[in-house]
Amino acid sequence: MASPRTLRWTVIAPVALVVVALLAVVWLDATKGGEAKPAPPIGSIGTPVRQAYIAPTVTPIGLQATPKPRSTVVVGVKGNPTDRDAKRRSDVLVLVDASNRLRARDGSYLTTGGNVQTFCAFQNLDVGCKLKDLIAGNVVPLDPLGDTVKNGYWYSSDGQTAKVYAALEGDVPTDQKCPTNDIELKKKPNLICVTIP
């Protein structure tokens, strides 16, 4: 039998570790305010938090590198919303003209299988990038605010008809707003589009 002065380390050591762990939990709870708030998801915007728009694109078969949007370097946003909306309307007409010239040359529009995708945010995936050869300067227009995924232009086509979309900053009369079934584009209150032909 052990004497009262002999310590039983096989009992004391585990109990001491549990006490230390509990003290650490209490200390962390006190210093962090008692709430567990995870960091917001990457790409969260606005209040309430919602995910940034990622346009649907065709997924190629097999292993592929993760696509990256094309560069959207916009040094200082120029103009006011009215000027930027005028440029957007002009850009939509440029994209419609290039689409019509491609159809005249090849007999059909570039197809997205009827799905909506960014016009040319992802150079290797978006079919709209193929129109750059039919546009003056060989460059597909960028939205004046940059960020081609959030503010850019969108495109959908079944090969026989096509639709080019843009979201304006200013108000759009109800009769000029674009009807769409795309969930993400429905969130844009001032969406315009041109259906061709």
pLDDT tens, residue by residue, 118-162: 888 888 888 988 988 898 888 888 888 887 777 889 999 999 999
For residue 194, the cross-strand partners are: 164
Q: What is the pLDDT of residues 56-82, one digit of tens each?
A: 666 666 666 666 665 544 444 567 888
Q: What is the pLDDT of residues 79-108, one digit of tens each?
A: 788 899 999 999 999 999 999 999 999 999
Cα maximum dimension of the chain: 102
Res. 172: pLDDT tops 90: no
Q: For the purposes of burial, counting CB atoms within 10 Å of the CB of 116, is it exposed (0-12), middle (13-18) or buried (19 or more)?
A: buried
Q: Is 134 helix (H, G, I), strand (E, B) or coil?
A: helix
CA atoms within 13 A on the CB side of 101: 13
- Banded model confidence at residue 36, pLDDT cuts 50, 70, 90: low
